[in-house]
Amino acid sequence: MKTLTILGATGSIGRQALDVIAAYHPEIRIGFLTTNTNVELLAQQVERFRPYGVAICSEEAYCQFRRSSSFQGPVLCGSEGILAAAAWAENDIVLAAMVGFAGVEPTLAAIERGATIALANKETLVVAGELITERARERGSPILAVDSEHSAILQCIVGENIESVERVILTASGGPFRGLSPHELACVTPEQALQHPTWSMGAKITIDSATLMNKGFEVIEAHWLFGLAAEQIAVLVHPQSIVHSLVEFRDGSVKAQLGVPDMRLPIHYALTYPQRQPTELPRISWQSLSRLDFEQPDVARFPCLRLAYEALVAGGAATAVLNAADEIAVAAYLQRQIAFTTIPHVIEQTLDAIAPSEATSLEALIEYDRLARHTASQIVSQHVQRT
């Protein structure tokens, strides 16, 4: 019996993880389930999965849950409650599925306890890759990526010497707008941007996918997860989303991991690694798969991918600034304050305004995050005033 705590249980990844556990993992006991505000869904999950405890970030939502639920286990409140759930001594696995910078500190807390981290929070390694990976090595806390692309890389290099890897290629669906002109991109509405052609994800990740920032984040993640230099990590647009990543070896051989676009498979693999257990998840219909297309991403029309590479090469806290500026810009776009094509401009101007130095402590990263958010918010305001 293993104990699993899910940070972000009511989000897309958290919900799918619970579906996987219900279908295939009777040996997994649920420790804590956490949410920010969605206590209605949390109450349903509590009824079905009987966790040891819950943690609710919003004080108002916490009070609502207390009034409406008869749950007898621990009910923790606020960011301190989330940290306590992450650091619970009985956690064997912590699925880090919170969105944004808020997921960094709870992931660190779980690492300090030596839990295995099933990592679905991109921002953790984007913001604090050096700190996270160093602490994980010190504490003996394995990090298993849940992103389909990084799970694919992991599956390709099992049994291989990482030194024999020449480069990895992350695939991107290209989002819903890869064929649009710059003028058409400027007119894209949030409703259109939230209609991803392949994956079902939360709003923030879906917008990041449409701008290719999501793929940029994955480049940074791959750097920290597999110890690869920026020039060893490539991106190809692959609209079918069947090939999730490729690994090229020094002898010229290539391995690829293929599967239907379904996040339940990489979640299941993270829970069973290094073993494989049977599932009834959908299989590829080879007879109906007539072609696999690949093309170079257009970084002129989608400059967020370029900005992510530049931040990775710059080092220090540049990627923390990148992430904070992106969160502010995406939120402004969803609130219809700025255009779709303004998102990368806000990010680039924020990066230009802040000269990040080394930031190897959580306190320093928090300060850079605060500064970048303030700067990006000012830049958004300037864009709003001009329009």
Tell me: do 320 and 293 sit in the same domain.
no
Tell me: do 152 and 204 sit in the same domain.
yes
**305 within some domain:** no
Tell me: do 169 and 258 sit in the same domain.
yes
CATH number for the domain spanning 365: value is 1.10.1740.10
In the chain, what's the furthest Cα-to-Cα distance? 63
Report the distance separating Cα 187 and Cα 200, nearest Å.
23
* Predicted TM-score (pTM) of this structure: 0.93
Residue 297 has what pLDDT? 95
**246 within some domain:** yes
Give pLDDT tens digits for 303-319.
999 999 999 999 989 99
Give pLDDT tens digits for 251-306.
999 999 999 999 999 999 999 999 999 999 999 999 988 899 999 999 999 999 99
Tell me: do 266 and 365 sit in the same domain.
no
**238 within some domain:** yes
CB 31, CB 52: distance < 8 Å: yes
Question: Domain of 351?
Answer: 315-387
**136 within some domain:** yes
CATH number for the domain spanning 92: value is 3.40.50.720
**310 within some domain:** no
Q: At which of 268, 297, 326 does a domain end?
A: 297
Tell me: do 121 and 159 sit in the same domain.
no
Tell me: do 293 and 236 sit in the same domain.
yes
Residue 355 has what pLDDT? 82
**306 within some domain:** no
Report the distance separating Cα 364 and Cα 131, nearest Å.
11
Q: Which residues of the chain have pLDDT under 70?
A: 196-201
**185 within some domain:** no
Q: What is the DSSP letter of 117?
A: E
Tell me: do 121 and 134 sit in the same domain.
yes
Which distant-in-sequence residues (6+ apart) come within 8 Å of 4 by Cβ?
21, 28, 29, 30, 31, 91, 92, 93, 94, 95, 271
Tell me: do 275 and 326 sit in the same domain.
no
> How many domains is the chain built from?
3
Distances (CA, A) of 211 to 186, 359, 365: 12, 27, 25
Tell me: do 7 and 139 sit in the same domain.
yes
Tell me: do 262 and 363 sit in the same domain.
no
Tell me: do 25 and 74 sit in the same domain.
yes
CB 249, CB 166: distance < 8 Å: yes
**347 within some domain:** yes
Tell me: do 170 and 261 sit in the same domain.
yes
